[in-house]
Amino acid sequence: MASQDWPPQSGEAAQAAVLDLACDWALANGLVLRPQTGSPAATTLGSKPGQLAIHAPFALYPSAFPRRLFQQALALQPVYNQLYADVTVDDRFLEHVIGGAVSKVDEFQGRLYEIWKQVKREGIMQPLSLGLFRSDYLVHAPTDLPAEQHSIKQVEFNTISASFAALSTRVGDLHRYLEQSGAYPPHAALSTSAIPENGALAGLASGLAAAHKAYGNDKAVVMMVIQDHERNAFDQWPLAHELLLTHGVRMVRVPFSELRTTLSHSPAPDYNLLYTPPTPFGSLPTPLEISVVYWRTAYAPTDYYTSAEWDTRLFVEQSRAIKCPSVGMQLAGAKKVQQVLAEPAHLDRFVPDDKDRAFLRESFTDLYPLDDSDNGKIALDKAYRECEKYVLKPQREGGGNNVYRTDIPAFLDQLAEEDKAKGITGTENGDAPRGREGYILMSLIESPQGMEQVLVKAGEARGTRAKVISELGVYGVVLLREDVDNVRGGKAELLVNETVGHLLRTKPVESDEGGVATGFSVIDSPLLV
């Protein structure tokens, strides 16, 4: 399908009618979020933000996506799940990759690393860890290659707080509804079967239920830890509803800061994690024993409001609750790990199967360190001489942290000046690592040109037709048992390894960053072509 053929062109009145129908459907079916405090919507609607909602940002039509590459991304997920599970339990690898330069130049990663080291010294209380992963891809479509030679390339692998499973499921439902209701103009590529079913919401809930069952106490509850003043509640509550209605498992949803005063451990040797709500609620007994701690926060320095949150993270890690993710699994999701795994020697060690290794490498783009190695020196030269081809990435989640193209040289110069002020000249002279060693250099992926979409911003019942880029995320679930007694040679035992759903995010071509929560993208669904 030619890019100029989609989405269908329609008159202003016809598009407005589709928009009205879509916005009403979104509000009626939970495709919503809370407005920002002080926003026009919040000011107009009232002063109780907990009772206000606006529709989430969405694409009016599903976006064309190559069926072959969509299926490839789904098939890749179990292989990636296995890889990152093995990284999670490989102490020597994490010590080498994170315990080296990364933990020394990145204070946030350094504090996570110290928690991980302390728990390892004390002895792990819970060998089970749950991963609700998402692997993100862009279509790589160089202009000199025909469409049948286009490929998917991995942007990043998320091991903590992989969001939008519920809202992405809702957007797929919205697009199927609009197609089935006859609201869309006729088009040869458009059919209900071309908009794939999305099991993301049910799949992540099923993963949480599997971890809860493995914990072994039916009376315990799952705890979702959220950011204070969370706007994205309606992507989170459906997981709690699905967990209860389908699996009979209760979930409590608690702001991170509240845990400072509400958590305790049962006496040794159990160290069960106990939560006492500040206000008694319903018929649940207190304190509540927690089976699984599901982190929907704690992935950025700003989530740790005070030193008490760092104490809380350690306290949770020291308990018998299953963590989603554990600190080790969160460290495994660092960008530096992604870069090191692209090196043949490391990938060969983790993935002995030739077919799986080749399959993974097809999805790799060029990744470089910025250290004093030969590859690091080559990368530094590229970052200055060919900066328009690259993005500089720190060890961060959540969007808005990368440095792109022509901004890279000045940023590297700034890091060098900061090193100079500290008296650091480089590890080759026995000094502390340079600031740039907390970053990786990644070649930019050449997305398809000329793709269009009608973007509907959050809370605004109007659409803007724009040239766009779409990023595909694939959700995976892993429940692993760490080999603490070294009976399997230190390898993880996977109790669950599944692909469970997808997310499509679409943004204007002029936007480098791609987060929905940060306002760059809308939630979309694929139209397989």
> Any binding-site annotation on 275?
no
Boundary of a domain, candidates 418, 443, 468:
443
Asked if residue 464 and residue 433 are part of one domain, the reply reads no
- Does 401 show up as a binding residue in the annotation? yes
Among the listed residues 268, 272, 260, 252, the one whose alpha carbon sits nearest the alpha carbon of residue 321: 272
Q: Are residues 320 and 371 in the same domain?
A: no
Q: How far apart are CA 159 and CA 161, in angstroms?
A: 7
Of 443, 468, 497, which residue sits at a domain end? 443
Helix (H, G, I), strand (E, B) or coil at 371: coil
Asked if residue 196 is part of any domain, the answer here is: yes
Residue 144: inside a domain: yes
> How crowded is residue 209: how many other Cβ atoms within 10 Å of its Cβ?
19
| Positions of the chain with pLDDT under 70 | 1-4, 38-50, 398-399, 426-431, 486-487, 513-515, 517-519
Residue 134 is assigned to a ligand binding site: yes
Say whether 256 sits in a helix, a strand or coil: helix
Can you tell me which residue has the tokens 């035992």? 493
The verdict on whether residue 404 carries a ligand-binding annotation is yes
Joined tokens for residue 7: 């989405």
275 and 294 both lie in a single domain: yes
User: pLDDT tens digit string along 186-239?
Assistant: 999 899 999 999 999 999 999 999 999 999 999 999 999 999 999 999 999 999
477 found inside a domain: yes
- Is 511 inside any structural domain? yes
**Taking the CB of residue 326, how many other CB atoms lie within 10 A of it?**
30
- 429 with 460, same domain? no
- Claim to verify: residue 319 and residue 457 sit in the same structural domain: yes
pLDDT tens digits for range 400-431: 789 999 999 999 999 999 999 989 876 665 66
**Enzyme catalytic residues:** 134, 156, 158, 163, 335, 393, 397-398, 505
* 502 and 422 in a common domain: no
Q: Answer yes or no: is 513 a known binding residue.
A: yes
- In the chain, the number of structural domains is 2
107 in a known ligand binding site: no
What 8-state DSSP symbol labels residue 287?
S
Q: State residue 460's pLDDT score.
A: 83
The confidence score (pLDDT) of residue 262 equals 97
For residues 295 and 167, membership in a common domain is answered with yes
Tokens of 222: 């799952």
Are both 372 and 313 inside the same structural domain?
no
For residue 359, being part of any structural domain is answered with no
Instruction: Work out the mean pLDDT of the chain and round it to a whole number.
Output: 92
Q: For residue 40, what pLDDT is reported?
A: 55
Residues 313, 302, single domain; the answer is yes
Residues 212, 320 within the same domain:
yes
In terms of residue numbers, what domain contains 377? 366-443
Residue 267 lies in a domain: yes
Q: What is the 3-state secondary structure (H, E, C) of 224-248?
A: EEECCCCCCHHHHHHHHHHHHHHHC
347 located within any domain? no
Residue 357 in any domain: the answer is no
Closest by CA to 255, choosing from 284, 234, 224, 279, is: 224
